[in-house]
Amino acid sequence: MKRGCFLNIFKIVDRANIELLVMESIKEDRAFTDITTQMCVPEEVEGVANIIAKENGVLSGIQIAEVVLQNFGVYVVEYFAEDGENIKEGNRLAKVKGKLRGMLSAERTILNFIQHLSGIATYTQKFVKIVEKYNVKILDTRKTTPGLRTLEKYAVLCGGGINHRFDLYDQIMIKDNHLSFMKDDFTVIQRMKNKYPDKKIIVEVKDIEDIEKILNYPVDRILLDNMTPENVEKSIKLINGRCEIEISGNIDEKNIELYAQKYPDFISIGKITHSAKALDISMKVENV
């Protein structure tokens, strides 16, 4: 998939799963028993509202609005922006119409999804732009909000990043705790390849001394974890194109370019999903 292109969430994330997540969020908010709105707004009143960006960023999750609203007798009249699009403060993103009660009761659920996912997309794009001149790809991780992984990884795509493994069966990743238990017995790599020939094998490395030993086995990628830029450079020279190279560990906006300048294939960043700030987006009801 082309990074940074406009995306349709329903072509990437199963709509039935989105509907389940939405319904759980509606129940959590007890939005069908919104006592304030029910006392303030007569049931028959119709209304129109606009979803509006209150700051610049990258849009993600806008179509979730229709999934939420379908439960409240409200529908989206028109979308003015697409997921993956750079939006500016004041931009109108969507127009909705229907029962005013439903609109007000659904508002927070809609905005929680769009703000959260757009925040991830925006933060991802920030890293992507820093490293793109080095042809380095930004990966996400499994450091996601429980239950929201598919949506958060979709948001990473909207920001121009690439999805790492989705779950523990997706790829084989041998990490420090595995190696500690195995006492650095790398022969397991060959056994893994024999048992799961179609699975990519990634091995985490903290010490340069281990690289040559690992390269005696069929690894697809070496993950250089928590290394200094100097040790990353030494490791990349030692690997010398024999497998893919990924860098991870304590990488942020201030130091990522130092690592990108060493020309790894990938840099994986947990922060883009677990520490992204929600993008400020609001819903404004037109005069009724």
Out of 92, 95, 97, 108, pick the active-site residue: 108
Residue 143 appears among annotated catalytic residues: yes
Alpha carbon 257 to its chain's center: 21
- The tokens for 60 are 């993600």
Out of 140, 204, 221, 246, pick the active-site residue: 204
For the chain, the residue count is: 288
DSSP 261: T
Out of 54, 175, 213, 242, pick the active-site residue: 175
Residue 132 appears among annotated catalytic residues: no
The span from the CA of 185 to the CA of 121, in Å, is 40
- The tokens for 31 are 């939005």
Residue 225 appears among annotated catalytic residues: yes
What number of other Cβ atoms are within 10 A of residue 259's Cβ?
23
> For residue 131, what are the contacts with CB-CB under 8 A and spacing of at least 6?
137, 138, 256, 257, 260, 267
Residue 206 appears among annotated catalytic residues: no
Out of 143, 149, 193, 200, pick the active-site residue: 143
Residue 129 appears among annotated catalytic residues: no
CA angle 204, 125, 68 (to 5 degrees): 105
Out of 46, 82, 210, 225, pick the active-site residue: 225
Catalytic residues: 108, 143, 175, 204, 225
